[in-house]
Amino acid sequence: MDYSIWGYFVSLLLFIFFVEQLKYLKKKRFVPGPSLVLPFIGNAIPLVRNPTKFWDLQADLAKSSELGFSANYIIGKFIVFIRSTELSHKIFSNVRPDAFHLIGHPFGKKLFGEHNLIYMMGQDHKDLRRRIAPNFTPKALSIYTALQQKIILQHLKKWVQMCSDNHSSISLRLLCRDMNLETSQTVFVGPYLEEESRKRFNVDYNLFNVGLMKLPIDLPGSAFQNARLAVSRLVETLSVCAEKSKKELNSGGEPKCLIDFWMQDTLREISDASASGSPPPPHSSNIEIGGHLFDFLFAAQDASTSSLLWAVTLLDSHPEVLKKVREEVSKLWDVEKDELITAEELREMKYTEAVAREVVRFRAPATLVPHIAGEDFPLTESYVIPKGTIVFPSVFESSFQGFPEAERFHPDRFLEDRREDRIYKRNFLAFGAGAHQCVGQRYALNHLILFIAMFTTLIDFSRDRSDGCDDITYVPTICPKDDCRVFLSQRCARYPSL
């Protein structure tokens, strides 16, 4: 009897496996991709073990035909990887209920929650972006610039001291992440995040980061559940900051950080609604604002860390570029005057900005922008993406299409005489495209330019090189395989007093 039950069980498993394979092959059709996949988990194990190798293979498969895309299967989900720039634009321009839904992460809704800026579309999404716009005016950006420089300087000094104390190289990845987290906290919610809250915030954000790279096993004690619960606490903390900002501005305070610029118009809309007897405007409750602030934090944090690490790596391996940056910055910023880099001086750093843009092109931090097909969608004349498919437009692959000598790190391409940022604009997708294009890209670029200017001016540095140290690894954005190990020493006679 036991053997009979076991035989039925094995037969059932084989039948399920067979049906699953048929469904996969029916969706895949003639698209390049594996012919057989493991039942239930598909190729999730190779993805988790070595994301770089997995996505490189998908890119190679996409290159193997004229289609420009490839297929695979992960945790019960059929996926399509898109290498073609034009097909990626087709995805970005068709974010709507009956086409594609931006999801940010294959299991993002479980982590971020349903009511998230990432998942919004249509008029609701437009209204929220309109409310966010005051966060990135020239006046607001100039205030952020001052805050950014002070924090960057504090951390650079600490890094140099670490190298001096240890008489060895240091790994920059976690140090950059901590610097960016402090910068985001200070720029976004400024004085409203108390010291104890900051400490807990840092712990929770680390839990969230770890969970991003794990399978969506939502069981007690699992990394994924720890991440999901951490997000809830982070949003709650940020909602308290929104409440404090409202009180500060209502008492006559001036904007000091991003949440203040945001709340100015929000408070006016709340007041107008109250006066007319209408309900409060959408997206104006503290908890909603806290959720959207977390979206900003997520967008700014890891992508920025990736770009800073690649800036250091690429400047070290391109001394002629480093020399030009130092020459330009020295003409505009006198360290001995103990003054901040002004917004005007920042705008005049044309070559340094070109370097920043080339870093973002050459090593697009968020390499993939996952969407899910809400309905069957005709991607090409011969292929329809089935409903429920997770689609991965690769902005990384697009960055190496169109541009002359695309495999070469060459900042001059973004200078005024070449204007490749305009000529090949469709291939420069690091900040996305369409309705969900990054609203804070100017802020992100300013942060990268400021870091490059200050790091190269104040510090002498060299990479602690090892085999494969500059290879790409996913954490979850991309960074150098060795986490960017460097030797640092003070370059300037004395640090500026900012």
Annotated binding residues for heme: 438
Regarding beta strands 390-393 and 77-82, do their DSSP bridges make them parallel or antiparallel, or are they unpaired? parallel
State the DSSP code for 463: E
Residue 160 Cα to chain centre, angstroms: 27
How far is the C-alpha of 147 from the C-alpha of 390, rounded, in Å? 39
Dig out the tokens for 15 from the structure. 């039948």
Grouping H, G, I as helix, E, B as strand and the rest as coil, residue 105 is: coil
Measured over the CA atoms of residue 324, residue 328, residue 329 and residue 334, the dihedral's sign is positive
Neighbours of 113 (CB within 10 A): 15
Dig out the tokens for 8 from the structure. 């039925």
How far is the C-alpha of 357 from the C-alpha of 395, rounded, in Å? 14
Reply yes or no: is the peptide bond before residue 370 cis, omega within 30 of 0.
no
How far is the C-alpha of 116 from the C-alpha of 81, rounded, in Å? 24
Cβ–Cβ < 8 Å for 279, 269: no
Q: What is the DSSP string of 338-401?
A: T-PPPHHHHHH-HHHHHHHHHHHHHT-SS-B--EEESS-EE-SSS-EEPTT-EEEEBHHHHTTS
Grouping H, G, I as helix, E, B as strand and the rest as coil, residue 238 is: helix
Dig out the tokens for 47 from the structure. 């993805």
Dig out the tokens for 162 from the structure. 């670490």
How far is the C-alpha of 183 from the C-alpha of 244, rounded, in Å? 19
Neighbour-count burial for 236-258, b at 16+ CB within 10 Å, e otherwise: ebbbbbbbbbbebbeeeeebbbb
Binding residues: 438
Cβ–Cβ < 8 Å for 128, 262: no
End-to-end alpha carbon distance in the chain: 81
How far is the C-alpha of 120 from the C-alpha of 436, rounded, in Å? 9
